Structure formats: structure tokens, C-alpha cells
Amino acid sequence: MMKTIFKQIFGLILLAGITGLCGCHSIGPMTVARDRFDYSTAITESWKRQTLLNIIKLRYLDPPIFVDVGQIVSGYSLQTGASVGGSFSSVSTVGNALTLGGAASFTDRPTVTYTPLTGSKFIRAMITPIPPEALFSTIQAGWPADAMMLTAVASINGLKNQQASGNGVAMADTNFLRVIQLMRKIQNSDAVGVRVLSGQGANKNEATLLTFRSQDISPETLADISELHQLLHLAPDAQEFKLVFGSTPANNHELAVVTRSMLHIMNNMASQVDVPPQDIVEGRTNPGWSESSPEVEQRRLIRIHSSTTEPKDDFVTVPYRNHWFWIDDRDLKSKRIFSFMMLLFTLSDNSEPAGMPVLTIPAQ
């Protein structure tokens, strides 16, 4: 009998030792992979929903508001313990007793700080046009030229893109649409590039040149480049053109581009939100793309649906004014344009980083 009791005591002591070792083992490394994925996914989804909501708010003339995630501090604690006790008699088993106790606690205490994006720097970033050199460098990096220019260019050498106003949507010039189509074809042939030349003299200004390669390319690409020169009134034999911001070029060796600001891009997208017809009738929002003729539907920049029921197959969805607004997950064009706009937020932010809030985490 005593031998059996001692075996039980030894087993309990061994259990307590194992439990203690588990309690001393750090759980931090095991959470890194999971937390980075979960937080990254959560931040991405919330940024998509916030951006879509602000586009819809602009359609209803509500001011857009952005809130950024400043810091994430995730703290974990795991505590375990075990206790063994007993009393034994050498005469008999009467009065012998064993006690076993255990306790464990796990605490997950994340701290998230939010930074409202306000102030003059953020406003300037929202209303300042995207630098043309940044836009064309992105095109050179492989982003589709037609989608980028349809989204972020207001005009090029006087040819105008589609434009939203309080009275509806003004359609793009036919030649503008042809220009961006040609740019995409020339881009696919690797015959277009961007070069930055360091300035000379006292001002040290830099010049950005858009270049078209004429050697080792197909006759079809040469014909596309020639047609592009004609539409933009560029020198037919030139291969390099100075890229400038402006509505009209100074000569036939300049490519004058008026780029849009982020607020301008969002306003154009807002005009193409499919709002409930009753909201237009009651004057709650301006007429938009939904009032345009069907034959120009293929020129739509983005399609944002609305309904009274929550969609099931969506890329991003937000509720607003008792309706659901969303982008269909099967609409590749709208998804691509929406993702481009998220990228353009980075291109338009030429201000210094805002100071992050000071966060103090007490030691535990």
C-alpha cells in the first residue's frame, strides 16, 4: 500500500515539474507568424473598406475622413502552476490523504493606436496632383499604362480624359482613349521608357524624359509610335520628349500631362457609383455615370454596386445610408483600378511622415 502511495506522489511531482517547464517556455515566437498574417489581413481589409466608404461619401457630398493605424502592440502572458500535498500514517491507511491542485491563465492584451489623417500636410497630399514622373515611372515598372492613365491623367497634350462634375460625367476625348490604348501596346513591346537627367548649372533642376525606342522593334510597334506622335502633335523623328506638368506643351518635343490628385480620382470614381435612383430624384446626390448612355458603358472606370441586401460574392463591401455598396469579386477591371488607387495614395504622399503617438506599455 505504501509503495502504491509513493508511486502516486512521484507521478504528481513529475506532472508538476512538466507543468512548470511549460509555464516557463516563451509563447512569443509561436505567435509571430500567426499575428503578422492576422494583423496584416485585418489592416488591409479595413483600409479597403475605409477607402470605398470615402468614395461613396463623396458621391453624397459628405466629407471623407481617413484614420490610420499608428501602432500595434500585442502582449501575451501564460501562467501555469501545480501543487501536491498529502498526509500519511505508518500504522494504517486510515487518515491518509492526497491533494492535487492546478491552475492556468492566458492573457491576450493587444493595444492598437489610431491616427486621424488631418492637417495641412495630409490635405496637400490629397489635393496635390501626382507628379507625372512618378506616374510614368510606375508605368515603366510594369503597371498597365492604359489603366494608370485612365485613372490618374486628366489630359495629355490637350486631349482630355473623362471628367465628373455636378451635372454628370463628361466623356473622354476619343483621341485620348486611343492614346492610352497605344501606350499600352507600346509598353507591351518594351519600346517606351523613362529617363531622369541631372540638371546642369546653378539651379540643378532635373529633367524627366519619355523615350521611345526605334531599333529592334516590329513594324507594327513602329506604326503605333508614329500614330501616337501624330495624335499628340509630337516631332515625328524625335525619340525623347521632356515630361512636364501642364495642359499644353511649349513645343513638339514636350509631353504636357495634367495629372489628378487623389481627391480628384476619388471624385471621378464617386460619380460612377450605382446609387439608388430615388436618391437622385430626391436630390440627395448628383446624377452620375449611371445616367450615361449604354454605348459608353465600356469606358467606365469602376463599377460600384448598391442594394438593400448584403452581397455574398464581393471584393469589398461597406454599409451606408441603409444600403450595401460593393465591388464584385469577379469584376477584374474594377478590382484592378481600385488596387491602383490604393497604390496612388503612396505616390501622392510627398510630405514628411507624421509623428507617431507615444505609447507606454507598463511592464507586467
The predicted-structure confidence for 253-274, as pLDDT tens digits, reads as follows 999 999 999 889 999 899 889 9
pLDDT at residue 55 above 90?
yes
Give pLDDT, residue 363: 44
Whose grid coordinates read 514636350?
254
Lowest mean pLDDT segment, chosen from 119-128, 138-147, 182-191, 239-248: 119-128
Give pLDDT, residue 342: 81
Buried/exposed code over 205-238 (b: 16+ C-beta within 10 A; e: otherwise): eeebbbebbeeebeeebbebbeebbebbebeeee
Q: What is the pLDDT of residues 273-325, one digit of tens each?
A: 999 989 988 989 887 775 555 556 667 788 999 999 999 889 999 999 999 99
Give pLDDT, residue 329: 94
Give pLDDT, residue 314: 92
pLDDT at residue 142 above 90?
no
C-alpha distances (whole Å) from 22 to each of 8, 17, 19, 75, 96 are: 21, 9, 5, 18, 31
Give CA–CA dist 31/49, Å, rounded: 27
Q: Are 194 and 136 in contact (CB under 8 A)?
A: yes
pLDDT at residue 49 above 90?
yes
Q: What angle do CA 240, 241, 244 make, to 5 degrees?
A: 150
Q: Are 145 and 139 in contact (CB under 8 A)?
A: yes
Q: What is the pLDDT of residues 164-195, one digit of tens each?
A: 776 667 788 999 999 999 999 999 888 888 77
Q: Are 198 and 206 in contact (CB under 8 A)?
A: yes
Give pLDDT, residue 116: 79
Provide the mean pLDDT of the chain. Answer: 79
Question: What pLDDT band is residue 328 in, cutting at 50, 70 and 90?
Answer: very high
pLDDT at residue 327 above 90?
yes
Question: What pLDDT band is residue 3 in, cutting at 50, 70 and 90?
Answer: low
Give pLDDT, residue 296: 60
pLDDT at residue 128 above 70?
yes
What's the mean pLDDT in 202-227? 79
pLDDT at residue 217 above 60?
yes
pLDDT at residue 353 above 90?
no
HEC string for the chain: CHHHHHHHHHHHHHHHHHHHHHHHCCCHHHHHHHHHHHHHHHHHHHHHHHHHHHHHHHHCCCCCCCEEEEEEEEEEEEEEEEEEEEECCCCCCCCCEEEEEEEEEEEEEEEEEEEECCCHHHHHHHHCCCCHHHHHHHHHCCCCHHHHHHHHEEEECCEECCEEECCEEECCCHHHHHHHHHHHHHHHCCCEEEEEECCCCCCCCCEEEEEECCCCCCHHHHHHHHHHHHHHCCCCCCCEEEEEECCCCCCCCEEEEEECCHHHHHHHHHCCECCCHHHHHCCCCCCCHHHCCHHHHHHCCCCEEEECCCCCCEEEEEEECCEEEEEECCCHHHHHHHHHHHHHHHHHCCCCCCCCCCCCCCCC
- What's the one-letter identity of residue 211? T
End-to-end CA distance of the chain: 46
Q: What is the pTM of this model?
A: 0.73
Q: What is the pLDDT of residues 62-117, one digit of tens each?
A: 988 888 887 777 776 666 666 666 666 655 555 666 676 777 776 777 778 878 77
Give pLDDT, residue 234: 93
What residue spans define the domains of the chain? 137-259
